[in-house]
Structure 1
Amino acid sequence: MQINQSNERAASCDQKQNSTQHPGQTTKINQEQADRNHEKTALRLYLLGLVLFLGAWLIKTPSPWLNDIGFVLATLTAGYHVMLEGFGETISDSRRQKRFAPNIHILMTLAAVGAILIGSFEEAALLILIFAGAHFLEEYAEGKSKREITKLLKMNPTEARLVQADGTTKIVPVAELAIGDQVQVLNGGQVPTDGRILSGTTAIDEASITGESIPKEKTVGDEVFGSTINGNGTFLMTVTKDSSETVFAKILQLVDQSQNNLTKAATKIKKIEPIYVQAVLYLFPLVILAGALLLGWSWSLSLYRGMVFLISASPCALAASAVPATLSGISNLAKKGVLFKGGAYLANLSDLQAICFDKTGTLTAGKPVVTDAEFFGLTEPEQQHLLAVVTAMEKSANHPLATAIVTKFADQVPALPISASNQVGEGLTATYQQVTYQIAKPSVFPTVSATISQRQAQLAQAGKTVVYLAQNHQVVGLLALMDVPNQNSQAAIAYFKRQHVHTTMITGDAQATGQAVAQQLQIDSVVANVLPEDKSSIIAQQKAQYGLVGMVGDGVNDAPALVKADVGIAMGDGTDVAIDVADVVLMQNDLSKLSYAHRTSKRLNRVVYQNMIFSMIVVLLLVTLNFMGQMDIALGVIAHEGSTLVVILNGLRLLIPSRIKA
């Protein structure tokens, strides 16, 4: 997706926008810039430390103390940010919580300092290098998750062509637009903000909002979304939303939510981390004393074993068990157009016992299609002629059934010069070649043959809408239409049934219509004739009956149910209501994305449990070997910090798309 402004122009406009932002927003931007600068400095120093370590390790100088200085410098440079976060965050967290709240960073800092004090310079450097490297890997996972969602920022419009009172246009920052302003959008340009077309027609690429690759036709009265790309037409639009309330802006709010809302496992780990670190720090002097007084070790050996214990018992791998994996899963799904508002919702998705689906626009396409065309007493040429007349008549109508009929037959029959009139109580009528044609609902024709009446009843029982086709007031054919399941629904329902998740369809349609769709999809149960305000109580009933329940809807009339469900999933299609109320947003109305998310959720939970079990086994093994005298600092550093890298890399596997069909 290309942006039509030059870099210089965009930068200039960004400066203008920043000047109009709220002070709190400006402070946040400045803080984010400071954080990025700090990360760059830390990475440069880490690379310098890596070079110093390799130099000291590979180059054997005549004076060993020169190598030791190299290792110490490597420890200080590579561990700069580790030490800073260790002491800085421990002090700030302790002040905020009004109790001693150490973190893993200070534990690693103390271990490195202790190793230097007992002369293990190389091991100290190795410890910091591996720990800091693991820390950078964690930050990569977090940054990857942010980038997959916020890469949309590259498409964030910065300027708009504001139409002034005298009809001229003026280039202004998007932040200066107000609701009601009129904006001109040129061919190939970006739509600057959400609005409605006043004049002109075009096709707009809405991939940045909906993920749909095919441009959507737009004309007067249609909604347009900020950041989308205009096609060949030029149009005039009126602004309908403040720049901070656009669909695009709401998508970007998901970034902070997805980073801060962690899984239950990650939350528990974060809570126990300071307690665990405190326990290790308190046990450290006891291990030294026990070694010298109870186990008969020399004081120097006891101090050495204490240092190995400090390294071995550190919960580095445990702390990295959940967060990198969770953020990797969120990142993976963001690339697929599935946006989660937090890791907790992703983890919960695999535990659903039941899932409810709105019918229209969720399980179905949301618009009718012609499913049956039947004729009575007509030859094949007469049938084709009738279809040509009906199609020509419907071209002048604008209701959904007309669109479905024209879409079905327009390419199959010749175009005829017919104009039709819509008369109340008679349906659509037209005269062509001295014959009167009529398209109307069955109630307009009180007397028809038993064959036609029976067939109409059968189709209606199957949930279809039937219209009669008449010549000179005599019914000679019928068309049946239905909002049919979309192509991805059946596979998604079959997937959840294989996972033993109970499926329910909730619809405001009649029972017959609902049952017809449910039978095609093989859904477990149907609740029909439901008003929007009743959907929430249905979710409550399902929760009482099954346990953890999900709700999938279009995010507008399903909003109360989406909120009530344990996991609310909105078929977003660019609607801001969906993004507001749901826990998960499918940027395309594609239920196969939900199946993929469920598989990813199961993978996430497996990976987290694997990591937690593996990390604790490694700690127990290393501590045991240390007391048995079979562990030294170098081996402890490699095994312990190596396990941390293994845990993080195992979590990063979730960045790889799943190919397994469950």
Structure 2
Amino acid sequence: MPGPATAPAAASPCAGHEHEHEHEHGTACGSPCAERHAAELNQASTGGHDHSHAHGSEPAHHHPSACASSASACHAGDTSRPASSLQQAACAPCCAHDHGPHAPSSPHGPAASRLDSQDGQLLHIPGMDCPTEELQIRAALESLPGIQGLSFDLPARVLAVKASPETVQACAQRIRQLGLDVSMLAQAPDAEAIRRATRRARWQLAAALLLAAGAELAHQLGGEAGAWGMAGLAMALGAVLLSGLGVYRKGLAALGRLDFNIHALMTVAVTGAIVIGQWPEAAMVMALYSLAELIEAGAVARAQSAISGLLALAPAQALVRMDDETWRPMPVDGVQPGQLVRVLPGERLPLDGTVVDGRGAVDQAAVTGESMPVDKSRGDEVFAGTINLSGVLEVQVTRPATDTVLARIIHAVSEAQQQRAPTQRFVDRFARVYTPAVFALALAVAVAGPWLASWTWMQAAYKALVLLVIACPCALVISTPVTVVSGLATAARRGIIIKGGAFLEEARRLQVLALDKTGTLTQGRPSLVHQQVLVAPSGPQDWHAITRGLALLSSHPVSRALQEGLSSPASAPPLAISDFAAVAGEGLQGQVDGTRYSLGQARALRSRGLMDAAAEQEVARQEALGRSVSLLADGQRVLAVYAVADTCRAEAAQAVASLKRLGVRPLMLTGDHSQAAMTVADALGIESVKAGLLPQDKLTEIRQLQQQGLVVGMAGDGANDSPALASANLSFSMGGTGTDIAKESADILVMNDDLRRLPETIALSRATHRVLWQNIVLALGLKGVFLGLALAGHATMWMAVFADMGASLLVVFNGLRLLRWRA
């Protein structure tokens, strides 16, 4: 089958640190017929085509007007001159001829295969056009020793086998035993080769449908005898050969192995119809069955292209600074970490890196799912595939093209598509029992019908054949992979990387979600959340400016929080601090305009007799909120109080509320002290808190909940969360701030660290589960109705094949609805 900080004055750590940004935008699968085109694909993929040039890979988007004004320079000029290089780079996205390897085609046509030689030895299997063949091939190969991995690309009809050459040969032999042609590929077919084969298969199927219609017309005009009968029979056989030759080969091979699968079922049904003289119906059944396979294959390709389309986000070329100080375009595969690339307004970033010069607003939606552009300047990290909306950025590359965040997303989701969700495995097991049972029922109808129902032998045989066609499990088998892949694709587009269909289904069952505090519920870094002047200056002094000046001379995290919290676009230059000293246990000291000031903790100032009642009261109040307090004092008294805390993420409260609405209980697990934990929990609305935990304590808490029969999820970002992440039923890691070990331990990555993605994942999982079972009920329900009609003598083979095709279309389009899912 076929995120400049303002000086906050908040009462809680979760509302004391806000950011405002302003941005300006504007100027700145086929049918079985495809088996006959293996040579065409092999020739296109292995000979005479330079894959350093692929066309149409960059999606259309708007660019600054400079691009149009210099369009004539896009294909002319000396690329060694910087100005010319900049013109080329500015126009590159506008050009219709974009060079790059393996670029996908437009969203409206077939894409190049997402597999390459790094995935293993590539095998081209022209007859592998839907999940049925994938299931059969997987079952045939997984028992072979030495196979390290199997990766399927149904739209391209390519299988990547990661194994030794000898094992690959054994795999090819087993595939041939299934009645499928197979050939080795040096590289996967490109989009044009796939398009040509698909177009030819469509024309062939159209011809088969016309012949089948002609056969039916001839039968109506002249019956089975005479010239009309002979013409009708010839057209019927031509239709069967054009549309069903591949089905016949796979069906006969299955019957030879006593494997009563879908192809065996259709082979018996069509052959039987011809034998009893119902050749017009046999021709139309095979042609319509192949049409259903073509539609189903297209649906699988559409669902998978939602992920494969990510490949088109990263440009194939980058404007790179050369040793002679010029900027020249070169393929991204040749750009090494440490090199500088320049990105103009309107262009996509070609590689991951760090901004070393320039400022701009970058749209990161494709990678992180963030809906608003993010301001980028010197020192900020940027990602391949994101769009520079304004300003020229010079970026130092930090990762090669094969290891960018975008590349890792594509790899993770591609691997996830290969894993089978529980519902998929259930349907597969059901189909293995269902199809042989249908054969047995059809045989019983054919043999016992004349004895029990007074049918003629011809009537009994016809009803048995109708039963075989009606019972074809195509709709049932296609319903689950299309739905699961659509769910995975929808999650990836929202910055949620789910590592398998099983985890997508598991999320719906969560009853408790344990949340780490630092770095997950909070920003993971101290921020200024409160400032208060206790003694008004008697002259032109500015206590905040003095505090900021002292903090600028220290690299301590609290000092950095004071630097950021006390700065603003209108800030005066830092004060001149003389005789500066950082004294252990005393804090920072320095002299301004002849007066010596100290910036330190209450304990140090208390030992010097500088703390009065007002200062003690304010310090006690802030420390009760779990905050770290710094005080500015001169030689006589405390002048100002500053409180620093790890602030909550802006979206954390909303995420917690959403979890509660979904019936999931949020639980905070943290190694921080209880006062800090309770302050954050109260602000976010979390009732269950466990504080002062070591990593093994978090693991123990997870297991105790599981022993109570609860399904428990865990969300964390640090190495100390890894044991709990690994033990939870389902684990989430922050993809931006999380450590590598946390990401490896997690089942789901949230690429933009937006906690709202956690309840979204659960909601998407529930929606996917509903659609899966809707499809199963639709597929089996429709077949049950027509089964009754067939046994009652009210269904023909035409009705049977239309019922099968209608059920397939219903479940396919119902599954594809998930691509438009919104939380």
Residue in structure 1 matched with residue 769 of structure 2 by the alignment = 605
**Distance in 2 separating the partners of 1:330 and 1:549:** 21
Q: 1:474 to 1:431 in 2, by over 3 A?
A: same
Structure 1 contact 130–642 (Cα < 8 Å) conserved: no
User: How far off its partner does 1:352 sit?
Assistant: 1.0
Distance 1:94 1:61 in 2: 34
* Residue 57 of structure 1, CA deviation: 7.8
Could you tell me how far 1:53 is from its partner in structure 2?
5.9
Of 585-594 and 628-637, more deviation after overlay is shown by 628-637
Assess if the C-alpha contact under 8 Å between 1:150 and 1:255 holds in 2: no
Residue 156 of structure 1, aligned match among 314, 323, 331? 314
Q: In the alignment, residue 386 of structure 1 is paired with which amino acid?
A: W
Distance 1:642 1:236, change over 3 A: closer
For the pair 1:543 / 2:702, whether they are aligned, the reply is: no
Partner of 2:605: 445
Counterpart for residue 415 of structure 1: 572
Q: CA deviation at 1:372?
A: 2.2
Report the Cα distance in structure 1 between the residues aligned to 2:367 and 2:677, rounded to whole angstroms: 31
Shift of 1:185: 4.6
Relative to structure 1, the CA distance from residue 234 to residue 645 in structure 2 (aligned partners, 3 Å threshold; closer, same or farther) is closer
- Deviation, structure 1 residue 299: 0.9
Equivalent residue, structure 2, for 1:629:
793
1:419–1:55 CA distance, 2 compared to 1 (3 A): farther
| Distance across 1 between alignment mates of 2:251 and 2:566 | 69
Deviation for aligned residue 1:548: 2.2
Whole-angstrom CA distance in 2 between matches of 1:564 and 1:305: 55
1:10 to 99, 112, 135: 99
CA spacing shift, 1:264–1:551, aligned 2, 3 Å: same
**2-structure distance, mates of 1:36, 1:394:** 63
Match for residue 356 of structure 1? Answer: 514
Question: Within 5 Å, which residues of 2 pair with 1:17-416?
Answer: 24=120, 28=160, 30-31=187-188, 33=190, 38-50=197-209, 65=228, 73-74=238-239, 76-77=241-242, 79-80=243-244, 84=246, 87-88=249-250, 91=253, 100-120=258-278, 123-124=281-282, 127-128=285-286, 130-159=288-317, 173-176=331-334, 182-185=339-342, 193=351, 200=357, 205=362, 206-212=364-370, 213-215=372-374, 217=376, 219=378, 225-227=383-385, 232=391, 235=394, 237=396, 243-378=401-536, 385-395=542-552, 397-411=554-568, 415=572
Verify: 1:590 aligned to 2:736, yes or no.
no
**Distance (Å, rounded) in 2 between the aligned partners of 1:603 and 1:55:** 45
2:809 aligned partner, one-letter code: L
The one-letter code sitting in structure 2 at the alignment partner of 1:253 is H
TM-superposed CA distance for 1:160, in Å, is: 5.9
Check if 1:616 corresponds to 2:616.
no
Alpha-carbon contact 1:210-1:574 (below 8 Å) kept: no
1:534-573 to 2 correspondences below 5 Å: 535-554=698-717, 557-573=720-736
Letter in 2 for 1:462: L
What letter corresponds to residue 424 of structure 1 in structure 2? V
**Structure 2 gap segments, 5+ residues each:** 1-58, 62-88, 104-113, 124-159, 161-185
Structure 1 pair 476–349 and aligned structure 2 pair: CA distance change class (3 A): same
The change in CA–CA distance for 1:576 and 1:367 in structure 2 (over 3 A counts) is closer
The amino acid of 1:615's aligned partner reads: A
Structure 1, residues 266-320: CA drift from partner, whole Å, max 9, x if none?
Answer: 1121133233222222332221011123322101111111111112222233223
Distance (Å, rounded) in 1 between the aligned partners of 2:786 and 2:541: 83
Partner Cα separation in structure 2 for residue 490 and residue 126 of structure 1: 60
Q: Does 1:428 align with 2:582?
A: no
Give 3-state SS (helix, strand or coil) of 1:610's partner: helix
Shift of 1:408: 4.0
Q: 1:444 to 1:255 in 2, by over 3 A?
A: same
Q: CA–CA distance in 1 between the matches of 2:248 and 2:646? A: 60
Contact persistence 1:87–1:106 (CA under 8 A): no
Cα distance, 1:418 vs structure 2: 0.2
Residues 174-216 of structure 1 deviation map (CA, whole Å, 9 limit, x = unaligned): 445667x64555656776555667x656658455543445345
Q: Output the amino acid matched with 1:88.
A: K
Maintained 8 Å contact 1:103/1:274: yes
Note if contact 1:116-1:124 (Cα within 8 Å) is conserved in structure 2.
Answer: yes
Classify the secondary structure of the residue corresponding to 1:331. Answer: helix
- Corresponding residue for residue 523 of structure 1: 686
Task: Please list the CA deviations of residues 390-428 of structure 1 after superposition, one character each: whole Å capped at 9, or x if unmatched.
Answer: 345445555444454454443497525503445124433
Shift of 1:576: 8.3
In angstroms, what is the RMSD of aligned CA positions? Answer: 4.0
1:547 Cα deviation after fit: 2.9
Deviation of residue 571 (structure 1)? Answer: 1.6
Q: Is the 8 A contact 2:219 2:280 kept in 1?
A: no
CA distance in 2, matches of 1:131, 1:599: 36
State the SS of the aligned residue for 2:514: strand
Residues 47-56 or 248-257, more deviating: 47-56
Task: Give me the identity figure in percent.
Answer: 29
From 631, 647, 657, the equivalent of 1:494 is 657
Counterparts of 2:255 and 2:497, CA distance in 1: 35
Q: 1:282 to 1:37 in 2, by over 3 A?
A: farther
The residue identity in structure 1 corresponding to 2:307 is: I
Q: Is the 8 A contact 2:251 2:267 kept in 1?
A: no
Tell me, yes or no, if the aligned pair for 1:551 and 1:568 is still in contact at 8 Å. yes
Shift of the 414–298 alpha-carbon distance from structure 1 to 2, 3 Å rule, reads: closer
Distance verdict in 2 for CA 1:377–1:418, change over 3 Å? closer
Map of 2:172 onto structure 1: none
Q: Which deviations, in whole Å up to 9, do the C-alpha atoms of 1:528-557 show, x marking residues without a partner?
A: 233456544443333223432222122655
Superposed displacement of residue 145, structure 1:
3.4
Give the total of aligned pairs: 643
Query: Which residue type is aligned with residue 544 of structure 2?
Result: L
CA shift at 1:52, angstroms?
5.6
Task: Give the equivalent residue in structure 2 for 1:463.
Answer: 626
Inter-partner Cα distance in structure 1 for 2:758 and 2:353: 30
8 Å Cα contact 2:530/2:644 also seen in 1: yes
1:85-114 alpha-carbon deviations (Å, 9 max, x no partner): 5643884x899xxx5334324423433443
Alpha-carbon distance in structure 2 between the residues aligned to 1:68 and 1:471: 107
Classify the secondary structure of the residue corresponding to 2:631.
Answer: strand
CA–CA separation in structure 2 for the residues paired with 1:90 and 1:489: 59
Cα distance change, pair 619–477 in 1 and its aligned pair in 2 (3 A): same
Q: TM-score, normalised by structure 2?
A: 0.68
Which stretch of structure 1 is more off in the superposition, 640-649 or 407-416?
A: 407-416
**Equivalents in 2 of 1:646, 1:595: separation in Å?**
29
Secondary structure of the structure 2 residue equivalent to 1:101: coil
User: TM (normalized to structure 1)?
Assistant: 0.83
Offset of residue 255 of structure 1: 3.5
SS of alignment partner, residue 749 of structure 2: strand
Does the 8 A contact of 1:346 with 1:601 survive in 2?
yes
> Quick one: structure 1 residues 524 and 271, their matched pair in 2 at CA, closer, same or farther if it must change by over 3 Å?
same
Alpha carbons of 1:116 and 1:102: their partners in 2 closer, same or farther (altered >3 Å)? same
Q: Is the 8 A contact 1:160 1:183 kept in 2?
A: no
Query: Are the aligned partners of 2:100 and 2:315 in contact in 1 as well (CA < 8 Å)?
Result: no
CA contact (8 A) 2:413 2:497 kept: no
